[in-house]
Amino acid sequence: MIPGTRVNLRAVEAADYPLLARWLNDPEVMIHWGRPGTTLSLEEVERSERADAARSNSRKYIIETGDGIPIGQIDYYDLDWQNRSAWVSIMIGEPEYWSGGYGTDAMGALLGYLFLQLDLHRVALTAHESNVRAQRSYAKNGFVVEGTLRDWAYFDGRWVSGVLMGVLKDDFVRLAGTAG
């Protein structure tokens, strides 16, 4: 388990697949994370989760509150040992937990693991330009905007740009030190 302050990150178990399927089929969640209209059967989710779990350069965790309620998922992927970098993504699947600091705490816990246990140098992510809540949350862990990906995705009938954000180990460590 990777402990945070308000949440913990734990391994994904087979018993979590129905929950993951519910989040991935929820249009309210998918507007921010995937694509509205996504439909995935439990079997498809299981197959994809098992394939992802077999990869050595990625790992997904369940985000749990301190009292053990699973509220979302977070992962790193495309871990590159030579350049000591990785990509991350996060989804709080229970909307009542949005804007409550849980996502920021989960990302801080994962960054702490990636930088202080695996000694990575750089972590990056992308977000829809319109997802201001996500960008604010990422900035609180030291992510800065590194560029705009023009017309990054076709979404809800129009092209939307993406925001590329990255954080270096030194920035994260400095910020964590400041936060005490």
Say whether residue 32 binds ligand COA (CB under 6 A). yes
Q: Which stretch binds ligand COA (CB under 6 A): 43-51, 53-61, 79-87, 129-137?
A: 129-137
Collapsed DSSP state (helix, strand, coil) of residue 8: strand
> How many angstroms separate the CA atoms of 103 and 23, rounded?
15
Determine, following the binding rule CB under 6 A, whether residue 33 of this chain makes contact with ligand COA: yes
148 binds ligand COA (CB under 6 A): no
Q: With binding defined as CB under 6 A, does residue 127 bind ligand COA?
A: yes
Distance CA 67, CA 90 (A): 20
The yes or no reply on residue 137 touching ligand COA (CB under 6 A) is: yes
Residue among 14 and 68 whose Cβ is closer to ligand COA? 68
Pairwise CA distance, residues 173 & 143, whole Å: 12
Q: Which residues contact 77 (CB under 8 A, 6 or more apart)?
A: 55, 57, 58, 86, 87, 88, 89
Least distance between ligand COA and beta carbon 49 (Å): 18
Instruction: Please choose, out of 42-50, 76-84, 100-108, 143-151, the segment that lies near ligand COA by the rule CB under 6 A.
Output: 100-108
Cα torsion for 114, 116, 121, 122, to the nearest 10°?
40
Contact call for residues 88 and 98 (beta carbons, < 8 A) = no
List, in sequence order, every residue forming a beta bridge with 173; answer none if it has no partner: none
Residues 136, 146, 154, 161: which binds ligand COA (CB under 6 A)?
A: 136
Tell whether residue 24 is a contact of ligand COA (CB under 6 A): no
Give the 3-state secondary structure of residue 102.
helix
Among 88, 134, 165, 167, binds ligand COA (CB under 6 A): 134
Asked if 125 and 108 touch (Cβ cutoff 8 Å), the reply is: no
Which string of x and - marks every residue 51-90 that binds ligand COA (by CB under 6 A)? ---------------------x-----------------x
> Which residues are at the interface with ligand COA (CB under 6 A)?
29, 32-33, 72, 90-92, 98-104, 127, 131-134, 136-137
